Chains A and B, each alone.
Chain A
Amino acid sequence: MNLDEERELVERAKKDSEAFGKLYDEYYSKIFGYILKRVANLDIAQDICSETFLKALKNLWKFRWKNISLSAWLYRIANNEITNFFRKKKHKLVSLEKISEPIDGSNPEIELIEAEDRLKMHQDFLKIQEKILKLPPKYQEVITLRFFEKKQIKEIGEILGKKEGTIKSLLHRGLGKLKEDFFETK
């Protein structure tokens, strides 16, 4: 989807649930994936992802197109929710329990267990992510966006609402602190 198409879809989504559904389908995987890479826990990632999209739904009417992809806005909401989670050390559960019947006969518990097994196979990632989690949130964000989400500096600046120079500086300092942690572990 190019920016023009996205802009049109966003405007429609403010009044049309089907258009909102399309935006959700487009960005769910990216946002969930990002949150998972930040928190490395599937239960928590699910909850934060739910909160992120709920906030997006509630505030979509306020969203003003600035020729930047909607995904930047969604990443920003996700960042805020992750920060809130770590600050409060609790997370609000979005009541998906409203839907009592699993959809299409799927079993969410088994799906979660299988997903957790797949996550555990990425030991290198989990070890490095554990070290990243010790950094202040401002460094976690830039490092995860740059190396795990493969975003360019300009994109990271759009997501975080910061200048490119600031992003480079944060990256450099964040990597410096991460490096120290590696040095201490040795």
Chain B
Amino acid sequence: MEEKDLIKKLEEISLPAIELPTHKARLKSVLIERYFQEKRRGEFFGFFRKLLPVGMVAIILIILISTNLIFPKYSLAKAKEIALQDPQIKEWVEKGAVIKDVEIIQNRAYVLIQPPEKTREVPIEGKTAIGVPSVSNVEKEEFKGALAEVNMREKKITKIEKITPPIITLTETEKEKVREIAEKDLKVSGIIPKEAEIQEISSLPPQLELIKKGNSVQIMPEPKTENRASIIYQSGEKRWEGKIDLSKERVEEVKFLGEIEE
């Protein structure tokens, strides 16, 4: 098909002109109701914005004095310190896990521990790749993350919950996009030989963060670490990995994984 034929087809196509009056009316009601909420919020903060130049110092002083006198200081550093006293958490950290985030709500701290980001294993029968753990060496119960609850008053861990981050499967379209982004990237063409073949394209699990929700926390993916993929290349015995940001359509890094040996 020629481009001009395609353009003609697109220009002449019969387009749906569909309305949903009920949705239109209901949405308008919700929006008007929300309008007033937003306005009240704006007026509330607007009042303080006016006060700010005049009473800023006084207000800040009052808050500082009252929090220091009435409420004890619960610091994030203290919460981390208490968490690291736990033998299980200490073991995870010694094996490479990190304390990714801490949130304090009243007298409780929530500590999020995540394993370091590492290359997904692509096992090859009878062989192991240096730098890439073989399937047989992988621990049966791999640590995927945990959330610890700390009682700041009693200075001890009250609960540790293991977490399982969601596994995201890439669609064929997304895999194709990963290929395209990698093919056009100078880092990839500079480091990876042309004859290298793609072995695997998979999603990279996002880093997690804690979001306060009422009297507790929710574990959510960090927005800027979502929508990333890994692409593994192999040429002979050598392997490389590219990390792709699908949202920004760019290659974040390319690294040499090592050589496969018998």
Alpha-carbon distance A54/B47, docked complex (angstroms): 24
B172 → A minimal CB distance (Å): 10
A53 and B3: CB pair below 8 A? no
The stretch among A4-12, A20-28, A71-79, A159-167 that forms the contact with chain B is A20-28
Taking CB atoms and an 8 Å cut-off, the chain B residues in 1-22 that contact chain A are 1-3, 6-7, 9-11, 13-22
Is A65 among interface residues, defined by CB-CB distance under 8 A?
Answer: no
Alpha-carbon distance A87/B10, docked complex (angstroms): 26
Residues of B with C-beta under 8 A to A148: 10, 13, 15
- Give the secondary structure class of A's interface: helix
A128 and B10: CB pair below 8 A? yes
Closest to B23 in A: A46
Residues of B with C-beta under 8 A to A107: 22
A-B interface pairs (CB < 8 A), number:
128
Contact digits for B17-54, partner A, Cβ 8 Å, 1 yes 0 no: 11111111111111111111011001000000000000
A128 and B9: CB pair below 8 A? yes
A37 with B15, Cβ < 8 A, contacts A46-B23, A106-B21, A183-B1 known: yes
B26 and A61: CB pair below 8 A? no
Chain A residues proximal to chain B, CB less than 8 Å: 15, 17, 20-21, 24-25, 28-29, 32-33, 36-37, 42, 46, 49-50, 53-54, 57-58, 61, 87-88, 94-96, 98-99, 102-104, 106-108, 111-112, 115, 118-119, 122, 124-125, 128, 134, 136, 143, 147-148, 175-176, 178-179, 182-183, 186
Chain B residues proximal to chain A, CB less than 8 Å: 1-3, 6-7, 9-11, 13-36, 38-39, 42, 173, 177, 226-227, 246-247
